[in-house]
Structure 1
Amino acid sequence: MDWKPHADRLAAEVTPPVSRWRDAVASTPRHAFVPRWWEPAGGGTWALRDGPADESAWLRAAYSDTSLVTRVGPLHADRASPDDRPGGVPTSSSTMPGLVVRMLRHGLLYDGADLGLIGTGTGASTALAARRLGDKRVTAMDVDPYLTATATDRLASLGMSSQVVTCDVTGPLPGDFDRVVSMVALPNLASVTAALRPGGRLVTTLARMNVIVTADKDADGCARGVVEWDRAGFMSTRTGADYPPGTDDLFTAVRDLEGEQVMRGRYPVLNVAEAWDVRAMLELAAPGVETHYEERGGQRTAWLVHADGSWARASATWIDPPTVHQGGPRRLWTVLERIRHRLNAEGGLPIYGSRVHITPDGVCHFTRGKWSASYG
């Protein structure tokens, strides 16, 4: 298979001409790490795609700047049959190469640095990092033993021997590092901060927040940095074969429920998950809140639910003011509208560009001007 021209084109797309990452992308055969993957098939199900069965489609997919889902629920694409139609959410993928490069560049890597890379996935991101730093400087980590074993084999087939470790990164990491870059969203930063050497740098996103945090570890054990003027969406960490049962039952229970409070909303219905700065601020105001959105025939409906029993549903035609139903101990839509009012009044929200102070217990403390908030 003549994959090199496709890799060259991808490298030109995701890196500047003078970037040290250009050769890494151009020399990495991404298709070797993603022989099979899942694509949406409608109705919340997924269809299997087999690369060797259609080499032109394989090359198009592997050398596009897109994420390729390789695991849905507990089912790996490698282990699936053509008739499988799993439902559920993705649990592993080959991350879009441009995002991998951006995260690694935020790490300010240097020759001789030891890198801890969280979220092995297919191993393609490990290959990129190893091209830059050398095999022996990269330790990749994932909770899934099949993924770590397969990534090890695929790296070895290319003559690469980075260490790939099976571990739960919400606990202690296997070693200490000059740089830790996470390709999964973390709920708490205690373990990764502890694994940094003094002066080491952390790059990560946070669960249910599409922010990129960069922070450097000081002698007092704390890490200090910023929320970058950049953003990324990664899967959250998991500790088992699949994510624990989510809030589907809560959504079902309140889908058409009459609210304890019914009111007219101030702002049009919003798909909160796609409004990343609003979503981040909502997580800080109501940690653990989950969102859902549907649009049918111009009718927009959004739901917010929380494990404490709080819920909200807002529905309207297009941009008309919505009818809002709320119940439970907190009024979640009211919390959301306060955030949106601040956005309209100030022209922005304070989370992006804020300062970050990560204490040894893994809690992120954000500040920007007079605003402050904590996470984790």
Structure 2
Amino acid sequence: MDWATHASHLADSVTRHDSQWYGPLATVPRHLFVPRWWEKQQKGWDLRDGAADVETWMRAAYSDRTLVTRVGSRHADRAEIGDVATEGLPTSSSTLPSLVVSMYEHAHIDDESEVLVTTGSGYGTALMCRRLGGDSRVTSVDIDPYLVQEAEQRLNFIGLRPTIAAADITGPLGTYDRIISTVSVRPIPASWLEALRPGGRLVTTIAGTGLVLTADKTADGGASGRIEPDPAGFMKTRQGEDYEYPPPSAWHLAESEDAQEVSTCRYPLLYPPDSWEVYSMLALSLPGISYRQETEGDVRTVLMLHTDGSWARATATGFLDSPIVHQSGPTRLWSELQRIRNRLNREGALPVYGARVTITPDGETTLSRGSWSHTL
């Protein structure tokens, strides 16, 4: 198979020829790191096997898209041909290459940097090794021992032998110039600040948001930086086999139960994950919201469910009609969403992107912009 031509086309689509990441993108065989993946369908996830359809494999592996490799606790590598994953959330993936490169560019890596990255499929680790001209300054960790084992074998196959380990990235670490996490955290782990050398930089995303955070270590052992203007979202760190997510019975309440409060929203129906600014602002003030959207003919419904048992259901016919909102529980979820949309409508923007970030040595993370501030 002519994977090198596909890889060159991927590099052309992701970055410039004079970029230090062009060579890694053009020379790392991404398909070897994603031999199988899960593809989202209307009802669950279908297994895709690269070897069974090489043309589809090449198109998928060398397109700028995320390939999900684990749903719930089910690894695509270990699934049977024809399997469908009907339950669970994505728990590991090969992130779209442009986003991996963007996170790495935010880190301001130089040729002598010692770098800690997250493993996943191992593809991002391979890019980092190629960028640094070798593997001696790269450490890669993942919470899942199987992922680490497979990634290590695939890295070794193409001649790369970075330090790779099954470990909790929020726990004790070594010492590095850069920490780049393509899993999200909230707040910043104190162990990262301990692991960074003076002047070192961390790059990550805030869990549940679309906010990329970059910060440089300060003399007091904390860090300062900003929320970058480009949005991105990653899976959050986990300690177990899977994430906790609302059971079907909880969604049933949001779908069909009578509400404590019924109102009409002044704005057209919005699915918050479709709006990075609104979604991120809401997640800062009310972490722990899950979302669903349903469509039946012209009728669209957005469901919100919070870990405290609160729920909201908003339904509209067409795209311009004002939705009818049903809410129950200790927190009025849609009311908080509407408060944020009121601010956006009044001010023309929300303060999250471009916000200043201050991190104390114990990891307390504060975002601020103008008169607005929020501590995670």
CA contact (8 A) 1:269 1:314 kept: yes
Match of 2:72 in 1: 73
Match of 1:347 in 2: 348
Matched, 1:19 2:15: no
Deviation at 1:247, TM superposition (A): 5.5
Match of 1:122 in 2: 121
Deviation at 1:8, TM superposition (A): 0.7
Match of 1:60 in 2: 59
Where does 1:1-376 land on structure 2 (aligned, <5 Å)? 1-43=1-43, 45-87=44-86, 88-118=88-118, 120-133=119-132, 134-173=134-173, 175-190=174-189, 191-246=191-246, 248-318=248-318, 319-375=320-376
* AA in 2 matched with 1:349: L
Q: Distance in 2 between matches of 1:18 and 1:86?
A: 42
Give CA-to-partner distance per residue, 1:57-109, whole Å, 9 cap, x none: 11111110111111111111111101311122111111111111111000000
Q: Distance in 2 between matches of 1:29 and 1:85?
A: 27
| TM-score (normalised: structure 2) | 0.96
Q: Distance in 2 between matches of 1:110 and 1:326?
A: 51
Deviation at 1:254, TM superposition (A): 2.5
Deviation at 1:42, TM superposition (A): 2.6
CA contact (8 A) 2:128 2:138 kept: yes
Mean CA deviation greater in 87-96 or 120-129 = 87-96
Deviation at 1:253, TM superposition (A): 2.1
For this pair of structures, how many residues does the alignment match? 372
Mean CA deviation greater in 154-163 or 316-325 = 316-325
CA contact (8 A) 2:224 2:359 kept: yes
Give CA-to-partner distance per residue, 1:106-159, whole Å, 9 cap, x none: 0000011110102x1110000000001120111011000000010000000011
Q: Distance in 1 between matches of 2:301 and 2:15?
A: 39
Give CA-to-partner distance per residue, 1:329-350, whole Å, 9 cap, x none: 1211111101001111111110
Q: Distance in 2 between matches of 1:158 and 1:24?
A: 13
Q: Which stretches of structure 1, 4 residues or longer, exceed 4 Å deviation after superposition?
A: none
> 5+ residue gaps in structure 2?
none
Deviation at 1:260, TM superposition (A): 0.8
Give CA-to-partner distance per residue, 1:175-212, whole Å, 9 cap, x none: 11100001111122123233211211010011110110
- Between the aligned residues of both structures, percent identity stands at 51
* AA in 2 matched with 1:374: T
Q: Distance in 1 between matches of 2:37 and 2:300?
A: 32
Q: Distance in 2 between matches of 1:101 and 1:64?
A: 14
CA contact (8 A) 1:247 1:307 kept: no
Mean CA deviation greater in 293-302 or 197-206 = 293-302
CA contact (8 A) 1:366 1:374 kept: yes
Give CA-to-partner distance per residue, 1:208-242, whole Å, 9 cap, x none: 10110000010111110010011112111111111
RMSD: 1.3
CA contact (8 A) 1:185 1:205 kept: yes
SS of corresponding position for 2:85:
coil
Q: Distance in 2 between matches of 1:20 and 1:369?
A: 36
Tell me: CA distance 1:367–1:293, structure 2 relative to 1, closer, same or farther (3 Å).
same
Give CA-to-partner distance per residue, 1:5-44, whole Å, 9 cap, x none: 111110011011210110011010111111111112331x
Deviation at 1:368, TM superposition (A): 0.5
CA contact (8 A) 2:254 2:304 kept: no
| TM-score (normalised: structure 1) | 0.96
* AA in 1 matched with 2:187: N
* AA in 2 matched with 1:65: D
Deviation at 1:167, TM superposition (A): 0.7
Q: Distance in 2 between matches of 1:164 and 1:353?
A: 34
Mean CA deviation greater in 145-154 or 362-371 = 362-371
